[in-house]
Structure 1
Amino acid sequence: MEIRHLRLIKAIVEEGTITKAIDKLHLTQSALSHQLKEAESQLGTSIFSRTNKKMVLTKAGEKLYNLANDILKKLSEAELEIKQMVFGEFGEIRISTECYSSYHWLPSVLKQFQILYPNVNLKIVTEATHYPLQKLLDNVLDIAIVSDQIKNEKIKYLELFQDEMVMVVSENHSWVNKKFVVAKDFENEHLLIHSLPLETVTIHQLVLEPAKIKPLKITALPLTEASIEMVKADMGIMSMAKWALQPYLKSTKIKPIKIGRNGLKRNHFIAILNNKTYPEYFHQFITFLQTEINQQWNL
């Protein structure tokens, strides 16, 4: 009895028909019939009885089918362990962040991790950006990077980094000489945001909404470069993480302004499911993420 015979028996039982088993095993009908006859000949008994065109296991067949399940499972596990020994662990991590600016540094970190774990697929789920915690609970994500925490016993938060948000204005803007701005300063301004809903925008959540202040106009503009050009032309203002703004400050046409006397700080967290068992590479990824962001980016 060979492994191919066990796979054949398992496929016939689980697919339900010879035709489907043929498709699964990529065999011709004559090849399948030959292998089945070969197996029955070696055993000296029938494995299936043909009743009304259905393949029904005999008592010997039932015993052989149970044996096939055990052996093929152990074989698959052994193959995986050997591959992990030779090539490293296999798996997938689905990740998203509630802040679009985080996608500036995230791909670079993922690329470096994949050098160490080439067989772990790191998938950025951008469609989960607006509601990453809900997507985490729905098992659409494995990791959500967030600054807003919700109290839920199913979610565990791990510290990632802290950054500061600033307002970006043109060199001709009335704020240009201010040391800092407060909520009331926004009343007559055109605020550029990356996307709706407004409830997910940090400056709205932490500054404007608590003070019940509404800017004169709000425009959602998903392209950071386009928003920067609007600011340069004195056609609006925007909030941005201080570290993410640095590459654009080579231009003297824009200036960062502090938000509030002490600055507007955000804490970012890695959110994962609290009671879920994760593979070792998953914990290695979290450690790698924390280390790289804090050391290389010095956020």
Structure 2
Amino acid sequence: MIERLHLEIVKAVAEHKTLTRAAEHLCLTQSALSHSIKKLEQRLGTPLWLKEGRGLRLSPAGERLLKLSQRILPQLSHCEEELQEFAKGRRGQLRIGMECHPCYQWLLRTVSPFLQQWPDVDVDVKQRFQFGGLGAILHHDIDLLITPDPIQHQSLEYMAVFDYELVLVVNDEHPLAGESHIQPEQLSNETLITYPVERDRLDIFSQFLAPAQQMVKKHQSIETTDIMLQMVAAGRGITALPAWLLEQYQNTLPLQSCKLGKKGIHKHIYLAHRKNDEEIDYLKGFIKQAKSTTADIANLRH
């Protein structure tokens, strides 16, 4: 029978490459670690790893067991954490994954009233995933995924909670300021500032520049919205952000927006959750609050 210890050992060997370091990581003796795996190999009738110089590499059977460990161990850990919280009289933790950098301000507006409504539920937000957002929610590393780019899966339910237009942002003295809309070729000599996201996942590239076979002169990444817009206001470059987010800064910074193309680029923000979790009351409570926050932002804009 495959036990949790076997999964932890295979995962540790894959990460640390040697039995010695894997044993140290697991607080086991090397002999105990080797004995456990040898017994499992005998039971399965196949080796789980192969020697490669002074190190080890997983066999095909070991790789299969590694994939199982990557899926099962996070679920076990999360379940244990939940049970411990229940034992303390708490409800648990809602783990939210973010694939939308500009949505952080929107998320803050949602989380604050949610925490007031659910005082026995904690919230954790993750923006970096070992297997991407889809893998994180399927592997139970997170409970909710906020994403503008849904990838359909039979185990997931997506709900559109927020619509926005992506606009070009320039400072008041930029040559493009005042333009009703711009074309891709007008950005060929510009420095484009974006969040640190893969280029093929940035809409200004995938939906605006790439289809026209155009490129900017320079591409620069910045982590935070505030610094990004300070750079644009200082004439150091241009950026593309949701129109609703820009509106929060226009009273304090000399910034203007232009449509990206005549029709603009319109996006939806989705909340994804596992279908098996849809009856969890505090998860439903967060989705309800997310819709309410979106309605409040819409009312402020009008």
Q: Please indicate, yes or no, whether the TM-score normalized by the shorter chain is above 0.5.
A: yes
* Counterpart residue identity of residue 258, structure 1: K
The yes-or-no answer on 1:186 pairing with 2:183 is no
Equivalence for 1:160:
161
| Contact 2:181 2:261 (C-alpha < 8 Å) held by counterparts | yes
What is the rounded CA distance, in whole Å, between the counterparts of 1:250 and 1:129 in structure 2? 39
**Per-residue deviation, residues 180-201 of structure 1 (Å, max 9, x unmatched):** 0122222221101111321222
Instruction: Quote the Cα distance in structure 2 between the aligned partners of 1:215 and 1:200.
Output: 16
Question: Aligned residues: percent identity?
Answer: 23
Secondary structure, aligned partner of 2:250 = helix
Name the CA distance, whole Å, in 2 between partners of 1:114 and 1:129.
27
Task: List runs of 5+ in structure 2 lacking aligned partners.
Answer: 1-82
Which residue is 1:282 aligned to?
283
Query: Which amino acid in the other structure matches residue 228 of structure 2?
Result: S
Q: Secondary structure at the match of 1:105?
A: helix
Structure possessing the higher radius of gyration over alpha carbons? 1
Q: How many equivalent pairs are there?
A: 217
> C-alpha offsets along residues 73-99 of structure 1, whole Å, 9 cap, x if unaligned?
xxxx9xx6995xxxxx71211002211
Cα deviation 1:247-275 (Å, max 9, x = unaligned): 22124632111112122111111111234
2:284 aligned partner, one-letter code: H
Deviations 1:45-103 (A, max 9, x none): xxxxxxxxxxxxxxxxxxxxxxxxxxxxxxxx9xx6995xxxxx712110022111111
Cα pair distance change 1:210/1:138, threshold 3 Å: farther
Q: Structure 2: which amino acid aligns with 1:152?
A: H
Partners of 2:244 and 2:223 in 1: how far apart?
19
Counterpart residue number, 1:233: 234
Task: Show CA shifts across 1:101-146 (max 9, x none).
Answer: 1111212311211111100111111324993222112211110111
How many angstroms does 1:148 deviate by?
Answer: 0.6
CA distance in 2, matches of 1:232, 1:199: 26
Equivalent residue number for residue 59 of structure 1: none
- Distance verdict in 2 for CA 1:175–1:296, change over 3 Å: closer
What are the within-5 Å matches in structure 2 for residues 62-81 of structure 1?
Answer: none
Q: Tell me, what secondary structure is at the counterpart of 2:165?
A: strand
Change over 3 Å in CA distance of 1:186–1:126 after alignment to 2: same
2:235 counterpart of 1:224: no
Q: Does the residue aligned with 1:127 lie in a helix, a strand or coil?
A: coil
Contact 2:164 2:268 in 1 (8 A): yes
